[in-house]
């Protein structure tokens, strides 16, 4: 079994003992780790040094500008939620009166668990590397500077480090009486470090180095807010053709000075053991659901999205642990973002994170709502901003069923089924005023006025009742099984009838009154005209005229925005096949080279060939955006209707944005806008790849895994290894094809499980089973493992 947690830390300490700590640099610790060099064009754009307690956001060039909009100018720097510690820091090398700032790096390199900035001061024969790293479960960060003298003569200089404190509360801090006050700095001469305290709160930050300083001072901070600046100076001598290394530690606490001090000392004493431990933990993340395919960029993107998923874990022990939505402006917890993303987390083996996030979302929802309604957004101080959009409650039910399929833990079902039952009752009892089974209210599209009967709410509600019926059956609540199944059946039928628009060959954005539609049309016309989309203006004007010419007193389906959510009936596989194929073709009109538009009327004629940067507005907005979630939904939808090559095409579009701006990551808005790392990206990759292309569908409760591959025709050879399910089971799948033969091999670790591989019969082909037992079937081959392996050939004549 793979080592985890404390075992990894112990392993790191043992490995560290093999060499002296003072000789250790990040260069040696990362030499065999994956690394991606950034694009010089994006040096003045954000990166993240991630950790579950603390993280740091700055620019790839090494500077720390004021950035972000959620708390204006405050989303960068160093955060230890629910407080911020620092706006950043500034370092410089000084020769007599000549200073060279280290805030204009020429190269940025990202690692799964660390970052590196490279600076060159050519006229001084000096090269500098800046590394930063956040240990697991620690309220601090380490920063290492390696100064290299490339000349033959020794150099004497001073190294200046200035830290900018900003001990302030997170977003909505005022709701929990977190009131910011002035920062006060004092120098701890025994520790040779600065300690800064918020005047009115027990918020602290320490920073200092492993060398003895020669000077220190305070100054007024150049940043907005109530922080302060404090500097440290060190005398440095670098021999010719040699290096000099200095390690800084920054540690904080929102509870006590003793905690901050303990963390500071702990990181200083055990830094490189923590690096080794985190490095090895990330190596294990890479091995889980390990993908090998011909498209090496997509393979690399899939690997790094596993790292990204871990970057987004946010732990505040007093409240809980869960994935945040995105960095830098959504570093807190969301219902729906988790409901998409955690399906992907399960597929890549990050089960513990999924379980902790679900526990957090459920507990917060219970505390705030208490009626089964799932919250939408909550800050890291526990203040809830939005009690929940309508779709989040049904999507929670489906998430619980999906997690159960992977874990088989019936206690898990029993724990959350009460929330599901209450939630589904709330869904229809309080939100379906006309009792037609379509709940009213906001879904995924947060556009003013789009809160009638929304297609995504209807689709996710249908799936919720279907999945709740399965849960009820597992828990032997037969009365609920019948009720939920019948509700799901009616919803599926009604969605295909009431929401379908034959004129537009699409499901409608919403069902509503003429007046609702006319109001929304006016808003949409302003949007389309402002964005200079004449085709959309013309279409909207025609729809408006049709309504005015033939007024109706009934609610009707309307296609106005061509929002991506019209594809959710295919994502949930509830669309009638003929309608699905028409709708998928319609959806293909609203794409650009990176994926699917959030709102179709934002598309223009250049959309098909525009591969440049996304030109966002000065005020943050998703208008005109192509996003990874809509693209992922489209991929899942295409696969559901047997169009794996089209699904791959969308996946290739989305992969174009990988490392486009931040190396090793994928922006929320393709290719380079919004959040630089986004949780639901893993849904858009892992579900199509693991569950659909490789067809791995676990039933852990009954110790069975069914594998039904539907691999794209471009992939002549592919493998997916170490897919984790249950408590003690992993599955590998290998595939290879030629013009005359298909070879498939599935290997499982636990012979107590039933492994069944299903493959569609091929005309003029014969089946040769190497290992396993073929079962009779009409239109497909079904082969069961007799022990741990299924292996067969399909010979094509």
- The H-or-E segment that residue 267 falls in is helix 257-287
Residue 19 confidence class, pLDDT cut points 50, 70, 90 = very low
Residue 258's φ and ψ, nearest 5 degrees, are -60, -40
- The H-or-E segment that residue 296 falls in is helix 296-311
Whether residue 640 has pLDDT greater than 90:
yes
Which pLDDT tens digit goes with each residue over 688-723? 999 999 999 999 999 999 999 999 999 999 999 999
**In terms of Cα–Cα distance, which of 282, 255, 253, 254 is closest to 266?**
253
Which pLDDT tens digit goes with each residue over 274-321? 999 999 999 999 999 999 999 999 999 999 999 999 999 999 999 999
Do the strands 754-760 and 704-707 form a parallel or antiparallel pair, or are they unpaired? parallel
Residue 650 C-alpha from the chain's centroid: 18
Q: How many helices (H) and strands (E) does the chain have?
A: 17, 42
Rg of the chain over Cα atoms, rounded to whole angstroms, equals: 28
| Residue the block writes with tokens 């959040």 | 675
Whether residue 575 has pLDDT greater than 60:
yes
Overall size of the chain counted in residues: 797
In eight-state DSSP terms, residue 700 is G
Q: Check residue 67 and give its pLDDT.
A: 97
Question: Residue 27 class from Cβ within 10 Å (0-12 exposed, 13-18 middle, 19+ buried)?
Answer: middle
Residue 619 confidence class, pLDDT cut points 50, 70, 90 = low
Residue 758's φ and ψ, nearest 5 degrees, are -120, 130
Determine contact, residues 116/130, Cβ cutoff 8 Å.
Answer: yes
Question: Residue 189 class from Cβ within 10 Å (0-12 exposed, 13-18 middle, 19+ buried)?
Answer: exposed
Neighbours of 619 (CB within 10 A): 6
Residue 16 confidence class, pLDDT cut points 50, 70, 90 = very low
Query: Who contacts 549 (Cβ-Cβ below 8 Å, separation ≥6)?
Result: none
Whether residue 132 has pLDDT greater than 90:
yes
**In terms of Cα–Cα distance, which of 746, 627, 633 is closest to 698?**
746
- The H-or-E segment that residue 260 falls in is helix 257-287
Determine contact, residues 695/780, Cβ cutoff 8 Å.
Answer: no
Whether residue 361 has pLDDT greater than 50:
yes
| Residues in a beta bridge with 49 | 56
**In terms of Cα–Cα distance, which of 121, 81, 124 is closest to 105?**
121
- Residues 607-625 have a mean pLDDT of 64
Q: Between 386 and 21, name the one with better pLDDT.
A: 386
Residue 242's φ and ψ, nearest 5 degrees, are -135, 175
Q: Check residue 72 and give its pLDDT.
A: 97
- Residues 568-588 have a mean pLDDT of 98
Whether residue 10 has pLDDT greater than 80:
no
Q: Check residue 450 and give its pLDDT.
A: 85
Q: Check residue 618 and give its pLDDT.
A: 53
Whether residue 608 has pLDDT greater than 70:
no
Give the C-alpha separation, 670 to 659, whole Å: 11
In eight-state DSSP terms, residue 693 is I
Which pLDDT tens digit goes with each residue over 225-260? 999 999 999 999 999 999 999 999 999 999 999 999
Q: Check residue 614 and give its pLDDT.
A: 63
Mean pLDDT across the chain, nearest whole number? Answer: 94
- Residues 78-102 have a mean pLDDT of 97
Do the strands 696-699 and 677-678 form a parallel or antiparallel pair, or are they unpaired? unpaired
Give the C-alpha separation, 676 to 314, whole Å: 16
Q: Check residue 90 and give its pLDDT.
A: 98
Q: Check residue 550 and give its pLDDT.
A: 92
| Total-model pTM | 0.95
Q: Between 609 and 792, name the one with better pLDDT.
A: 792
How crowded is the C-beta side of 476, counted as CA atoms within 13 Å? 1
Which pLDDT tens digit goes with each residue over 718-756? 999 999 999 989 999 999 999 999 999 999 999 999 999
Q: Check residue 778 and give its pLDDT.
A: 85
């Amino acid at each position: 079994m793979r080592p985890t947690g404390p075992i990894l830390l112990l392993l790191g300490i043992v490995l560290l003992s093999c060499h002296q700590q003072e000789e250790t640099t990040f260069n040696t610790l990362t030499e065999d780790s994956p690394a991606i060099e950034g694009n010089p064009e994006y040096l003045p754009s954000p990166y993240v040094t991630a950790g579950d307690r603390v993280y740091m956001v700055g620019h790839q060039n090494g500077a720390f500008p004021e950035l972000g909009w959620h708390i204006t100018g405050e989303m960068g720097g160093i955060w230890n939620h629910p407080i911020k510690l620092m706006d950043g820091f500034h370092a410089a090398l000084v020769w007599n009166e000549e200073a060279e700032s280290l805030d204009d790096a020429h190269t940025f390199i990202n690692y799964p668990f660390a970052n590196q900035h490279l600076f060159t001061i050519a006229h001084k024969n000096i090269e500098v590397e800046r590394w930063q790293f956040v240990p697991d479960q620690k309220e601090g960060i380490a920063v290492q500077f390696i100064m290299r003298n490339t000349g033959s003569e020794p150099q004497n200089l001073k190294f200046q480090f200035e830290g900018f404190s900003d001990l302030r509360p997170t977003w909505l801090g005022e709701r929990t009486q977190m009131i910011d006050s002035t920062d006060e700095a004092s120098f701890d001469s025994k520790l040779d470090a600065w300690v800064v305290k918020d005047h009115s709160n027990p918020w602290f930050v320490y920073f200092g180095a492993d060398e003895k300083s020669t000077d220190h001072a305070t100054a007024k901070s150049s940043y907005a807010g109530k922080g302060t600046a404090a500097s440290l100076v060190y005398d440095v001598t670098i021999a010719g053709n040699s290096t000099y290394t200095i390690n800084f530690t920054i540690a904080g606490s929102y509870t006590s000075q003793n905690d901050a001090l303990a963390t500071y000392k702990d990181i200083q004493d055990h830094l490189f053991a923590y690096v080794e431990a985190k490095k090895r933990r990330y190596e294990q993340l890479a091995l889980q659901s390990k993908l090998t395919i011909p498209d090496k960029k997509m393979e690399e993107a899939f690997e790094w999205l596993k790292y990204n998923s871990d970057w987004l874990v946010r732990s505040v022990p007093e409240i809980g642990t869960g994935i945040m939505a995105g960095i830098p402006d959504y570093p807190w917890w969301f219902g729906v973002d988790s409901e998409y993303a955690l399906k992907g987390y399960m597929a890549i083996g990050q089960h513990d994170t999924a379980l902790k996030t679900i526990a957090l979302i459920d507990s917060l929802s219970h505390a705030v709502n208490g009626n089964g309604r799932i919250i939408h957004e909550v800050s890291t101080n526990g203040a809830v901003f939005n009690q929940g959009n309508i779709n989040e409650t049904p999507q929670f039910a489906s998430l619980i069923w999906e997690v159960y399929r992977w874990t088989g833990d019936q206690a898990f079902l029993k724990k959350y089924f009460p929330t599901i039952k209450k939630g589904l009752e709330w869904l229809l009892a309080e939100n379906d005023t006309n009792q037609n089974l379509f709940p009213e209210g906001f879904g995924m599209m947060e556009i003013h006025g789009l809160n009638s009967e929304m297609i995504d709410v209807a689709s996710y509600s249908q799936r919720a009742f279907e999945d709740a019926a399965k849960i009820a059956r597992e828990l032997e609540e037969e009365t609920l099984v019948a009720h939920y199944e019948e509700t799901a059946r009616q919803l599926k039928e009604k969605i295909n009838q009431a929401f379908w628009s034959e004129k537009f060959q699409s499901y409608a954005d919403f069902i509503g009154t003429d007046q609702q539609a006319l109001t929304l049309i006016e808003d949409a016309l302003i949007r389309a005209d402002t964005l200079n989309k004449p085709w959309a203006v013309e279409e909207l004007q025609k729809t408006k005229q049709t309504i005015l010419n033939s007024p109706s007193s009934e609610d009707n389906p309307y296609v106005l925005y061509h929002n991506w959510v019209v594809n959710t009936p295919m994502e949930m596989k509830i669309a009638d096949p003929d309608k699905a194929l028409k709708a998928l073709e319609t959806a293909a009109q609203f794409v650009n080279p990176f994926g699917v538009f959030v709102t179709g009327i934002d598309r223009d004629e250049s959309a098909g060939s525009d591969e440049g940067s996304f030109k966002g507005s000065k005020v943050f907005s998703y208008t005109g955006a192509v996003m990874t979630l809509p693209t992922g939904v489209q991929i899942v939808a295409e696969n559901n209707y047997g169009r794996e090559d089209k699904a791959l095409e969308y996946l290739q579009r989305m992969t174009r944005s990988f490392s486009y701006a931040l190396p090793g990551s994928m922006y929320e808005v393709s290719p380079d806008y919004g959040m630089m790392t986004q949780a639901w990206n893993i849904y858009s990759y892992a579900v199509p790849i693991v569950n659909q292309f490789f067809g791995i569908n676990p039933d852990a409760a009954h110790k069975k895994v069914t594998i039904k591959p539907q691999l794209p025709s471009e992939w002549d050879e592919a493998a997916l290894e170490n897919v984790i399910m249950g408590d003690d089971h992993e599955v590998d799948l290998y595939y290879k094809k030629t013009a005359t033969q298909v070879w498939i091999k599935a290997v499982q670790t636990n012979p107590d499980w039933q492994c069944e591989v299903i493959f569609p019969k091929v005309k003029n082909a014969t089946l040769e089973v190497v290992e396993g037992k073929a079962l009779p079937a009409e239109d497909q081959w079904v082969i069961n493992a007799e022990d741990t392996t299924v292996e067969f050939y399909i010979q094509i004549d």
